[in-house]
A and B are shown apart, each in its own frame.
Chain A
Amino acid sequence: MTRYLLLFLYSISLLSCKPLFNYTAVDYNGIPKVEPVLSFTEDADKVVYKAQIDLYKKHFSGIVVFKYIPADSATRIVFMSEVGITFFDFQIRNGEFTVINAIAGFDKELIISVFREDFQILLRNPVEGENKIFYKNLTIENSYTYASDFCGFTHDYSYENGKLAEIISKERVKIKKLIKIFGDDAQHPQQLIIEHKNVKLVIQLSRI
């Protein structure tokens, strides 16, 4: 009985590592151009999202502004209430995260660390990370997965039809976080859904 159970668990673990079956490793030159989830240019240097945050049974909301400041070579992220009160103001510069300002209640390390990691993932280019493995999906045309180590986790970047569709953050085979990307705008997607699997937390960002 134990042998069958072990065999079953082994099969499940193999299935969760999808690159082993439907994917084949490809050369870096064979992949589509990789950009961060949110990227900025001189003409499109900011994007504003309505945020809906569900933590267990509590619902929170607000407005998130992402703005690239060329003079600082940094992206500022401001989260405020619908009424206009700023909750926090973060900066990410070359991957380095800084808290510019956070009001009482939002200055707790636990809250900051959740947002820090989520925002860093949205703004980083996986190709610039280390230990990249690129796979081509053999069953879906023009679909790729990039496995990239970051913050001690593996991140699978799945592209469908040349467009980033999903990022799966994993610790070994266990999924820690799922980021779903919707909309045709490659620079500023229409909607982002970040589902945390270790806590009951879902962050939904809808472009306004």
Chain B
Amino acid sequence: MRKILYIAFLLIGHQLVFAQESNYTLVPQNKEIETKINNMANSLNTIQSDFTQQKHMTYLSVTVESKGKFWYQKENKMRWQYTEPYKYTILIKDGKITIDDGGKNSEFKVKGNKIFEQMNEIISASIKGTIMKDERFAVTLYENNAFYMVKLLPKSPEVKEVIAEMFMYFDKTGFSVSKVKMVEKSGDYTLINFSNKKVNDPIPASVFILN
């Protein structure tokens, strides 16, 4: 009985997820939307936001959740700060990645790490609005009532090995990134939800310094 309930739960869960994704309809190449995203990007100097990250491991039925804060400043200054359930900060600045892992700091070049490099470029391109023209991905645009969903299929085998596909969700009111979903080859995925977004508010210089 328990097994049947479990299978039923999985099937219903799958249908709900499918329904959620299938609410989106394909948008043919659309200059107007591209212009809107570009205009938003051109006027954007800073973003500050809270985020919730959920790693879903489908086969294991495990979800690992973490929370934190995100800052971005034109051009290419970024800080991801995980605050729960652990302290972990990634600072990307001047082509360097500095990590503070609960007080233990390490530093390396963005260019020396292909995955970090690509992820950094994807996030930057999404924020800057250039993602739609990125030739390293097969890009398709979808929409529903609230979001434009950009589906990115990596062309590089090295990236494909790690990320099978990515989805960026732009909200239709502000045209800024609201959600990012990274799907792995196994079907496991990471969903990052941004909330309490502040656009173009000044960010203190100290945010982009790690002691």
**Chain A interface residues toward B at CB < 8 A:** 46, 48, 50, 52, 54, 58-59, 61, 63, 65, 67, 69, 76, 78, 80, 82-86, 89, 101, 103-104, 206, 208
Name the residue in A46, A50, A58, A69 with the highest tally of chain B Cβ atoms < 10 Å from its Cβ. A50
Closest 8 CB pairs of A and B: A84-B190, A208-B85, A84-B55, A67-B60, A61-B101, A50-B86, A59-B106, A82-B88
- Quick one: which of B57, B85, B101, B158 contacts A104, CB cutoff 8 A? B158
Q: Of all chain A residues, which has the CB nearest B190?
A: A84
Q: How far in angstroms is the closest Cβ of chain B from A112?
A: 17
Residue pair B186, A46 in contact (C-beta under 8 Å):
no
Contact B66 A82 (CB under 8 A): yes
Q: Does B62 contact A (CB under 8 A)?
A: yes
Q: Any chain A CB within 8 A of the CB of B41?
A: no
B116 nearest CB neighbor, chain A only: A83
Q: A69-B60, A76-B60, A78-B57 are in contact. List 10 more A-B contacts (CB 8 A).
A: A48-B62, A59-B101, A59-B104, A63-B64, A65-B64, A80-B55, A83-B190, A103-B161, A104-B161, A208-B85
Residue contact A52 to B101, C-beta cutoff 8 Å: yes
A156-B57 Cα distance, complex, nearest whole Å: 35
Give chain A residues whose Cβ lies under 8 Å from the Cβ of B119.
Answer: 83
Chain B interface residue count: which class?
A: 20 to 34
B176 within 8 A of A: no
Contact call A52/B161, Cβ cutoff below 8 A: no
Q: A103: which B residues are within 8 A, CB to CB?
A: 161-162
Q: Contacts of B158 on A, CB cut-off 8 Å?
A: 104
CB closest residue in chain B, given A100: B186
Which listed residue (B57, B80, B86, B190) contacts A208, Cβ 8 A?
Answer: B86
Q: Is B188 an interface residue (CB 8 A)?
A: yes
Contact residue among A58, A84, A206 (Cβ-Cβ distance under 8 Å from B182)? A84
A65–B62 contact, CB under 8 A? yes
Greatest chain B CB density within 10 A among A69, A78, A84 is at: A84
Q: Which residues of B contact A78 (CB under 8 A)?
A: 57, 60
Q: How far is the CB of B31 from chain A (nearest CB, A)?
A: 33
Which B residues are in CB contact (< 8 Å) with A84? 53, 55, 182, 190
B102 CB contact (under 8 Å) in A52, A89, A104: A52
| Interface positions of B from 101 to 152, Cβ below 8 Å from A | 101-102, 104-106, 115, 119
The answer on a CB contact under 8 Å between A85 and B88 is no
Q: Which of B153-210 contact A (CB under 8 A)?
A: 158, 161-163, 182, 184-186, 188, 190
Q: How far is the CA of A65 from the CA of B58 in the complex (A)?
A: 13
B107 to chain A minimum Cβ distance, whole angstroms, is: 10
Question: In the complex, what residues of A have CB within 8 A of residue B105's CB?
Answer: 59
| B192 (CB) vs chain A CBs: closest residue | A84
Q: Chain A: which residue is nearest B88 at the CB level? A: A82
Nearest CB of A to B80, in Å = 8
**Which single member of B62, B85, B99 contacts A67 (CB below 8 Å)?**
B62
User: Chain A contacts of B101 at CB under 8 A?
Assistant: 52, 59, 61
Cross-interface CB contact of A61 among B88, B115, B190, cutoff 8 Å: B88
What is the CA–CA distance of A134 and B185 in the complex, to the nearest angstrom? 47
28 A-B pairs within 8 Å (CB atoms) are namely: A48-B62, A48-B64, A50-B85, A50-B86, A52-B101, A52-B102, A54-B104, A58-B106, A59-B105, A61-B99, A63-B55, A65-B64, A69-B60, A76-B59, A78-B57, A80-B55, A83-B80, A83-B90, A84-B55, A84-B182, A85-B115, A85-B163, A86-B188, A103-B161, A103-B162, A104-B158, A206-B86, A208-B85
B89 CB to nearest A CB, Å: 10
A160, B23: Cα distance in complex, Å: 58
Report the bound CA distance from A77 to B186 in whole Å.
15
Is B82 interfacial (CB-CB < 8 Å)? yes
**In the complex, A103 Cα to B1 Cα: how many Å?**
38
Residue among B53, B185, B188 with the most chain A CB within 10 A?
B188
